[in-house]
Amino acid sequence: MIARRLAGLVTCAAACLALTACTPAGKAVGDTQTKQPEVAHVGIQRNEARIALVGSPTAAADEPVLDAMGDVDIQTVYVSAKDAKDPDAVMRQGVRDMVDRVVNLIVVSDLDVSADALGWDAALGSAREAGIPVALLNPVHAPDDATLYAATLVLNDRAADAVRIDDAMMTVLNDEPHERQIVVTTLR
């Protein structure tokens, strides 16, 4: 009986250690590739992807992104912080909720960590520990710890070299090589 319990504890500890091994050392989840691998991998396909958009206190800023995601049929879960008494708390809880839902990518709109950097580090750290990449859309103040997010997406529908936002999200989601800052467009 004691031997079984001990074996169970050892198995559980090994499983926990294996889970922490999914977190890349010194890199953000979704930002570990510096060059395209020689052997191509399929990754997650658009029709299988689940992307969470944790919205800004100004929901109008999120509408073009949601419309663009709807145009390409990528399943998007939206967490609204509009009209919240404490939008920062709603956004942090939204990140934690999306970790629990096991989405493939979390995008946080208009992130400003200056009011509660430790709270944001914990929320974004939970996504990192779960192996879920995070992208920041038009961040106001990003976290100091660059391992908490894979890229910043700067929305500029007028830039000629802007990447479609869905393509940028899929690149981060599949951990393909990309810049830390990606200029994106919601236009087709």
Neighbours of 41 (CB within 10 A): 9
pLDDT of the residue at 25: 81
Count the domains in the chain.
1
Q: What is the CATH number of the domain that holds 124?
A: 3.40.50.2300
Angle between helices 117-129 and 87-101 (to 10 degrees): 10
Report the pLDDT averaged over residues 141-147: 96
Specify the pTM: 0.85
Report the pLDDT averaged over residues 35-56: 81
CB 91 within 8 A of CB 81: yes
pLDDT of the residue at 18: 45
pLDDT of the residue at 24: 76
Question: What is the SS3 assignment for 33?
Answer: coil
Nearest CA to 29 out of 94, 126, 112 is that of 126
Specify burial of residue 60 (Cβ count, 10 A radius: 0-12, 13-18, 19+): exposed
Answer yes or no: is pLDDT of 23 > 90. Answer: no
Report the pLDDT averaged over residues 102-128: 97
Answer yes or no: is pLDDT of 126 > 90. Answer: yes
Answer yes or no: is pLDDT of 14 > 60. Answer: no
| Structural domain for 84, as ranges | 2-185
